[in-house]
Structures are given as C-alpha cells and as structure tokens.
Amino acid sequence: MKKIDYISSGCSCLDKILKGGFPIKNLSLIYGAAAVGKTTLATQCSVVAAKKNAKVLFIDTDHTFSLKRLLQIINSQDDVSNKLMILTPEDFDEQSKIIEDLESYITNKVRLIVLDSISSLYRVSLGAIENTYLLNRELNRQLAYLSELSINHELSILITSQIHSTFNGEKWRIEPVAYRILSYWCKVIINLQSTPKLSIKRAIIERYLTDVEKKEICTLAIAHNGFKNINDVNH
C-alpha cells in the first residue's frame, strides 16, 4: 500500500485544522456528550480509510455500530463493508482481551483501529469494583499497548470517550471520563460539541501533537450521510 501519514476525517474543514487528518503512529481522542456524533465521525473515518483500500478494526463497546448508518455514509456503489472488522466486547475484561489480541488481526493493509468508546465498559466496572486503582491501571495498560501498536505497525488509532463533570474548586469542568489517563496517551484531542442548531456541531481541537496551547475550532454540519463542511449542506 502507498504510505500515508494520516487518516482523513472525510471533512475538509476538519482535516485542515488537523493538518491532513488523524496522524498515524498516534492515538487520537474524540470526546463529547451522548448523541453528539462521535460514532458517526469514527464510522466516517473508517469509510474514508476503506475507500482508499485500507482495512479497519472497529471495537464497538457500546454495541451502537449501525449497518444502516454505515451504508448511508458509504453513499456509493463501492463495497467497502468487507474492509471493516467489527469486534464487540461484552465487559471491560473482554475489552482488555480483544486489545491484547489485536496484533493477530493486523495485516499490512490495516491502517486504522477505532475504539468506540473506551470509557463505556470502564464506567460500568467503576460502579462494580471498589478498587478503582486496579481498574485505572488496566485502562492505562490498554492505552500503552495501543500506543505501541500504532508505532510498530504505523497505524492511526481513533478513540472516543464519554464525558463527565468535575469541580476544580472554582468552577465545573466538562472533560472525558478518565481524563488524566487519556490525555497522557492521546496526542490529538477533539472536543465535539452540540450547538443550539441540532444539525450543527462544533469540533474544538484541544491538542494536536506537540501543540497543546492553541485551540482551533471547526463548525460542521451533520447530515444523513455523515459530517460535512457547513457550506456543503442545506439547512
């Protein structure tokens, strides 16, 4: 396969502020509230990669991956669904086992791994296990392993996460679940937000590789076939 340096989001305005897309040899994080479009964006990236003849491993912890939505986003006669492998862990332990076994699925055509979402089964386990230290250590181990895979196999790894509110003594802050662990490993961080208009979303780039200070914003439209530049969709 032709060597690539990033996986396109499929939306040129977002790719522009991502300097081409989600970089290979790195973990990228998309976080936001429920139903904001995290899975849609992750699916869209998968379709873009598949249309370029790459294979994608998609870990669906929420069991929300939709074949109907996939076909809407494909929006062509190209049969790329066979380039996606969907893995569906039932609990956090199984999520760990799937991540540990990912290398056995990787061929020279795999260029993208999606984990949607990394925090769902982790959050369920938090409610059942008193010793959160062990759970956090395991999440950290999963991310360390994913980071190693991304470098060794020249992959882009795209992770989504739910959010929660924390209070820092002065004000409430919205951040990803397990923020400290995720922010350590993920070198690209996007906060995907809703706006007063249902079909319009805001993507805030909070980190891009070594640039952790400058925040860039891209306003997107979400349509039946995925995210588009806002000027490309009639509202």
Q: What is the CATH number of the domain that holds 91?
A: 3.40.50.300
Tokens 């470098």 sit at which residue?
151
Residue 124 lies in a domain: yes
Residue 27 lies in a domain: no
Tokens 């998309």 sit at which residue?
30
CB 84 within 8 A of CB 46: yes
What are 7's strand-pairing partners? 22
Whole-number Å distance between alpha carbons of 147 and 144? 5
Whole-number Å distance between alpha carbons of 68 and 175? 30
Whole-number Å distance between alpha carbons of 124 and 51? 35
Please count the other Cβ atoms lying within 10 Å of the Cβ belonging to residue 98: 18
Residue 87 lies in a domain: yes
Whole-number Å distance between alpha carbons of 54 and 48? 9
Measured at the CA of 158, the angle between CA 31 and CA 100, to 5 degrees, comes to 115
pLDDT digits (tens, 9 = 90+) for 96-133: 999 999 999 999 999 999 999 898 898 888 766 667 88
Ramachandran class of 35: left when φ > 0, alpha when ψ lies in -120 to 50, beta otherwise: left
Predicted confidence pLDDT, tens digits, the chain (235 residues) = 455 689 999 999 999 999 999 999 999 999 999 889 999 999 999 999 999 999 999 999 988 888 888 888 887 767 788 899 999 999 999 999 999 999 999 999 999 999 998 988 988 887 666 678 888 999 999 999 999 999 999 999 999 998 866 656 666 567 788 889 999 999 999 999 999 999 999 999 999 987 666 688 999 999 888 899 886 655 4
Residue 76 lies in a domain: yes
Structure tokens that stand for 160 in this block: 């989504």
Single-letter code of the amino acid located at 211: D
| Number of domains the chain is built from | 1
Most distant CA atoms of the chain, gap in Å = 54
- Closest to 111 (Cα-Cα) out of 152, 63, 55: 55
Going across the sheet that includes 110-116, the strands are 84-87, 55-60, 110-116, 156-161, 26-31, 186-194, 200-208, 216-223, 226-229
The domain of 138 spans: 6-22+34-110+118-214
Please count the other Cβ atoms lying within 10 Å of the Cβ belonging to residue 68: 7
Task: Evaluate the CA torsion angle 139, 142, 148, 150 in order and state its sign.
Answer: negative
Residue 222 lies in a domain: no
> 135 — phi, psi (to 5°)?
-65, -45
Task: Write down the pTM of the prediction.
Answer: 0.90
Whole-number Å distance between alpha carbons of 135 and 122? 8
- How many residues in the chain? 235
Sequence-separated (6 or more) residues with CB below 8 Å from residue 90: none
